[in-house]
Amino acid sequence: MTIHDALKNLVLDHIAVAVDDLDKSVLFYQNLGLVFEDEREVVEEQKVITAFSPIDHNTHLELLTPYGIKKEDGAIFQYLQKKGPGIHHLCFTVLNLEQKCFELKALGVQFLYSQAKIGAKKRLVNFIHPKSAGGVLIELSQKIE
């Protein structure tokens, strides 16, 4: 099996890192050698603002920090309060989210949402509970055509 065959099934889309100060973190990773997209994306539902940098052909580093007047209600604000800054989740692209969730639930894997939601970049997303994934929060994401 070639690497291209292996990546057909599942490919990493992004690593999400919760940060206290977006501009400071962007500068740190720029000093490391990363190049960021100019645009910042606000994800209203998650009450965050994000910065993206490519780190491989399909993969981005996503820095995210609480944003907006109700930012204290967002999961990232609460994560930072509880655990401090650090890696928040890994996101993999799947071809068919509904089928993948169905298969995994049959194996006893728990998800955060009973139904998939619309996430950043207008993808269809759900999250595997860290309890089901050895302490790692894993997002599964499907592109919508």
Closest residue by Cα to residue 53 from 22, 29, 19: 29
DSSP states along 72-111: GGSHHHHHHHHH-SEEEEEEEE-S-HHHHHHHHHHTT--B
Judged by beta carbon, residue 41 or residue 55, the one nearer a copy of itself is 55
Identify the DSSP state of 17: E
Shortest reach from residue 43's CB to a copy of itself, in Å:
19
Shortest reach from residue 115's CB to a copy of itself, in Å:
20
Judged by beta carbon, residue 36 or residue 41, the one nearer a copy of itself is 36
Shortest reach from residue 74's CB to a copy of itself, in Å:
18
Distance CA 5, CA 23 (A): 38
Distance CA 52, CA 26 (A): 9
Distance CA 40, CA 97 (A): 26
Q: Beta 60-66 vs 48-54: how paired, if at all?
A: antiparallel
Give the interface with a copy of itself as residue ranges (CB under 8 A): 1, 3, 5-7, 9-12, 15, 17, 19-20, 25, 28, 31-35, 53-59, 61, 84-87, 90, 92, 94, 100, 103-104, 107, 109, 130, 132-136, 138
Judged by beta carbon, residue 39 or residue 135, the one nearer a copy of itself is 135
Judged by beta carbon, residue 1 or residue 69, the one nearer a copy of itself is 1
Shortest reach from residue 119's CB to a copy of itself, in Å:
18
